[in-house]
Copies of this chain bind each other. A is one copy, B any other.
Amino acid sequence: MAKSLPVSPLAPERFPRVPPVRGARWASLPAGLRYRGRDDLMLLELAPGSSAAGVLTRSTTAGHPVLWCRAVLPRGKARAVIVNAGNANVFRGAEGDAAVRAEAEAVAAALGCAPEEVLVASTGVIGERLPVERITAKVPDLTEALRADGIEAAARAIMTTDTFPKGAFAAAEIDGAAVTIAGIAKGSGMIAPDMATMLAFVVTDAAIDPPALQALLAAGADRSFNAITVDSDTSTSDTLLLLATGAAGHRPVTAADDPRLAGFAEALDSVLLDLALQVVRDGEGAQKLISITVRGAGDAASARRIGLAIANSPLVKTAIAGGDANWGRVVMAVGKSGEPVDLGVLGVAFGGHAVARDGAAVADLDERPVAEHLRGREIAIDVTVGTGPGEARVWTCDLTHGYIDINADYRS
């Protein structure tokens, strides 16, 4: 059983005052799957006709809920999302698939929809049998408990080693109609791009057709959830869903490049990035949030790969944990990325203070402002790797004793 962990020093002051999203209701309650004395089961109900989009782990050993979502998401419609914490329902063969179907059927029966309109996610221990009967038995109570303002409780119900619940929202306009975007996430371990033990559920009352919704989500995920890493490990269960109820009442949008979506896309990106950064802020053992900006690469993809090589380097992450302006390790990580680098231009700055420039250490560096920056909670590393147009930003956290404590001890 996981021990109770102190709240991350990087946590926001409080859960935001998320307004209700028309057409979406949340419920949560304790199903006794693993934890005691807390909710571990969550239901999100969506108005009939809601559009659904998703970005799922690319793991080849993906969990049974992910396999289900991969199968039903192309339909583009959803009436509900059911999520449990404590057991990831991974690697259980036919029994695992049957458990997911049982969940979907129970929710479908309660809401009067098709099982394929119920999306499912699970997070927690891998390989143990999901006591699905405890979940299905709670579905009637869950549907009774649905509330428009249940989002914070839902965010708490999906936590595992998270030390704080994660929520975000933003407002936008489409065609003159006010729309709201609100989401929750859980994270912490196994966070890396394209694969993460990261769950996030975002709802909006905008009316957007599924293909357009999927395109918006995929683009936003690349700039947020796929630009963060905690420990380079990839979850079997990473699931990011975007649900659009259409209750805002504007004329439906059918194409992602529709100019009416400009403000919405920006608002969506801000919610996704907010949630993604909260995941990093709650990285296991995290004491510092690190943003890494790479400039001058051949293209944005190359810049991103260099950024992730730095963000995934245990030596960089431990240096930051120690408040050490160890730019040599940054140079090492740039080199291990395998990406083209112009050594005569290579430079590194911490908090805007250059420590290496044009391929050499800065002579007579005043280390005091650098050291002061590194004593802070939010660390900025800027790396110049050449003179190309490619630029990217990624985020990670430091690697501390806390990470070892949490992960050497998770199941015991």
Instruction: List the interface of chain A (C-beta within 8 A of B).
Output: 57-62, 88, 90-93, 95, 125-128, 189-190, 192, 194-196, 231-236, 312-315, 318-319, 321-322, 324, 326-329, 331-341, 343-344, 346, 356, 359-361, 399-401, 403-404, 407-412
Minimal beta-carbon separation of A371 from chain B (angstroms): 10
A-side binding surface: helix, strand, loop or mixed?
Answer: loop
- Closest Cβ neighbor of A192 among chain B residues: B336
Q: A322-B411, A328-B125, A329-B194 are in contact. Are A61 and B234 (CB under 8 A)?
A: no
A343 touches B61 (CB 8 A): yes
- Closest Cβ neighbor of A363 among chain B residues: B129
- Interface centre among A194, A340, A344, by most chain B C-beta atoms within 10 angstroms, is A194
A404 touches B400 (CB 8 A): yes
Give the number of times this chain occurs in the complex, counting copies: 2
Q: Apart from A59-B332, A190-B332, A232-B313, what are 12 other A-B pairs with CB-CB below 8 Å?
A: A61-B335, A92-B361, A127-B328, A195-B332, A195-B336, A234-B332, A314-B407, A318-B407, A321-B404, A322-B408, A324-B408, A400-B404
A346: B residues at CB distance < 8 A: 61, 91
Cross-chain contact of A335 among B62, B127, B231, B400 (Cβ < 8 A):
B62
Q: How distant is the Cα of A340 from the Cα of B59 in the complex, in angstroms?
A: 10
A95: B residues at CB distance < 8 A: 360
B321 touches A236 (CB 8 A): no
A356: B residues at CB distance < 8 A: 91, 127
Q: How distant is the Cα of A196 from the Cα of B315 in the complex, in angstroms?
A: 9
Q: How distant is the Cα of A327 from the Cα of B318 in the complex, in angstroms?
A: 26
A192: B residues at CB distance < 8 A: 336
A329 touches B195 (CB 8 A): yes
A407: B residues at CB distance < 8 A: 314-315, 318-319, 322
Cross-chain contact of A360 among B91, B315, B333, B340 (Cβ < 8 A):
B91
Q: A232-B312, A312-B232 are in contact. Are A331 and B408 (CB under 8 A)?
A: no
Cross-chain contact of A127 among B88, B319, B327 (Cβ < 8 A):
B327
Q: How distant is the Cα of A195 from the Cα of B336 in the complex, in angstroms?
A: 7
Q: How distant is the Cα of A233 from the Cα of B332 in the complex, in angstroms?
A: 8
A359: B residues at CB distance < 8 A: 91, 93
Cross-chain contact of A332 among B194, B324, B337, B410 (Cβ < 8 A):
B194
- Closest Cβ neighbor of A400 among chain B residues: B404
Q: How distant is the Cα of A361 from the Cα of B95 in the complex, in angstroms?
A: 12
A125: B residues at CB distance < 8 A: 328
Q: How distant is the Cα of A404 from the Cα of B60 in the complex, in angstroms?
A: 31
- Closest Cβ neighbor of A285 among chain B residues: B404
